[in-house]
Chains A and B, each alone.
Chain A
Amino acid sequence: AQSVTQLDSQVPVFEEAPVELRCNYSSSVSVYLFWYVQYPNQGLQLLLKYLSGSTLVKGINGFEAEFNKSQTSFHLRKPSVHISDTAEYFCAVSAPGGFKTIFGAGTRLFVKA
């Protein structure tokens, strides 16, 4: 079985500062990894995903994430955030051969002017 831990429930940051949202996972098999974003009063939408290949994955809106198998992590980064990045971010994991995606509890990113 897989599990996901998002290490920070809330991350406040000033506009134009860099940000990292941390995600660790556990699994006995190889996994697919995802980051989704949820803007207020909306459903989730995909930011980026790792299926295989290069461990550095680039997504929409300037976000990127790095898959680290030895540390079982998939941290999300952005070098310079905007006010519009204020949202909740979810890390998720699924396993080939399975049918379920497991979501973390979410990290609320607050970008302050």
Chain B
Amino acid sequence: NAGVTQTPKFQVLKTGQSMTLQCAQDMNHNSMYWYRQDPGMGLRLIYYSASEGTTDKGEVPNGYNVSRLNKREFSLRLESAAPSQTSVYFCASSRTSLETQYFGPGTRLLVL
């Protein structure tokens, strides 16, 4: 009963390095999301995919790219990491774009 899985759980990067955060869901959901969580700011939407084959920008897309690889998988890429991208990243999915979202356990990213 995996739900939403994210890898890695924790990552340390140096400024300028790149990395991809992976997310997969096994609930046959159509919509998937990437959020970042920073103290005192709640969750902010980075990118979302309303359905397979589509992606759109959220509130804070600068410095990130996404790929909806198939219905199950939605990855987030940092091309050139910056200290301002130090955060906890959550992936979520929902059956449709307005329904209950199911969250993964998060990835803690530290950019030095």
A interface residue numbers (CB < 8 A to B): 6, 9, 32, 34, 41-46, 49, 90, 94-96, 98-101, 103-106
Q: Which 10 A-B pairs have the closest CB atoms?
A: A43-B103, A105-B42, A103-B43, A99-B97, A103-B42, A44-B103, A46-B100, A94-B98, A99-B50, A106-B42
- Is the CB of B83 closer than 8 A to any CB of chain A? no
Q: How far is the CB of A90 from chain B (nearest CB, A)?
A: 6
- The residues of B that contact A96 with a CB separation of less than 8 Å are 98
Task: Name B104's closest neighbour in chain A (CB-CB).
Answer: A43
Contact of B90 among A43, A49, A98 (CB under 8 A): A43
- Is the CB of B40 closer than 8 A to any CB of chain A? yes
Would you call A100 and B58 a contact (CB within 8 A)?
yes
Task: Name B54's closest neighbour in chain A (CB-CB).
Answer: A99
Q: How far is the CB of B11 from chain A (nearest CB, A)?
A: 16
Q: How far is the CB of B44 from chain A (nearest CB, A)?
A: 8
Would you call B98 and A32 a contact (CB within 8 A)?
yes
- The residues of A that contact B16 with a CB separation of less than 8 Å are none
B interface residue numbers (CB < 8 A to A): 4, 31, 35, 40-45, 48, 50, 56, 58, 90, 92, 97-98, 100-106
Would you call B45 and A100 a contact (CB within 8 A)?
yes
Would you call A43 and B4 a contact (CB within 8 A)?
yes
Would you call A90 and B42 a contact (CB within 8 A)?
yes
Looking at A6, A9, A46, A100, the one whose CB has the most chain B CB atoms below 10 A away is A100
Contact of B101 among A95, A98, A101, A105 (CB under 8 A): A101
- The residues of B that contact A101 with a CB separation of less than 8 Å are 45, 98, 101
Would you call B103 and A45 a contact (CB within 8 A)?
yes
Contact of B40 among A9, A41, A95, A98 (CB under 8 A): A9
